[in-house]
Structure formats: structure tokens, C-alpha cells
Amino acid sequence: IYNVVFKATVFDEIAAIKDFIVSVASKELALKYVDELEQEVYALSYLAPCVSDTDSSIVKQYHPNARKIITHNKKWTIIFHIDGDYVIIDKIIPSKMIIA
């Protein structure tokens, strides 16, 4: 089992997702949505080794050994890498931004 660590910028990305949902729906829905997204991220503590490296240049710009998972109903791509006992979350971006 790996420890999941977020880069500081990822917290801003999650906050932006929450703020957007609040603006179009409700605070309660936003909190539930973000909680579910974070649970999927924390599942990488045991799933990360099962995810293959990617050849995507978009993903590789965040780390040379980057991996990605598409989550939350295919809306978000979580970019991460493994370093020792840690899964480091590098970025969360809309899945439509990933070409390959």
C-alpha cells in the first residue's frame, strides 16, 4: 500500500472543480462530488501499480514516469507517478484535454 500525496497545485484544481459545481448546482452536490473524486484518487494507494505508464506527451509533461487514470464517469484524468512508497498526484485535468 502506497501513501497518496498531492502536489500543492492539485488542491487548487479540486477547489476550482468544487467552486464550479457550486456555481451551477449546490454546495452539497459539490462537496459530494469532490468527496467521491478524492476517494477515487485515494484508491491509487493500492491500484497505482496496476496502471501502466503512458506514452501521452500531454501526461509526460508533468513527470517522465507519469501514469494516468480516467475517473469520475470519464470526466477527469488523474495524472500521477510512483516514487518509492508514495503515489504523487501531479495533476487533475478534464479528460477531453488528453488526446492519446
Structure confidence by residue, pLDDT tens digits, 50-93: 998 888 888 999 999 999 999 867 889 999 999 999 999 999 99
Q: If 0-12 CB within 10 Å is exposed, 13-18 middle and 19+ buried, where does residue 73 land?
A: exposed
Whether the CB-CB separation of 34 and 26 falls below 8 Å is answered with no
Give 14's DSSP letter: H
Confidence of residue 99 (pLDDT cuts 50, 70, 90): low
Whether the CB-CB separation of 66 and 77 falls below 8 Å is answered with no
Tell me the C-alpha distance between 48 and 56, whole Å: 17
Convert the pLDDT of each residue in 31-57 to its tens digit. Answer: 999 999 999 999 999 999 999 888 888
Whether the model pTM is above 0.85 = yes
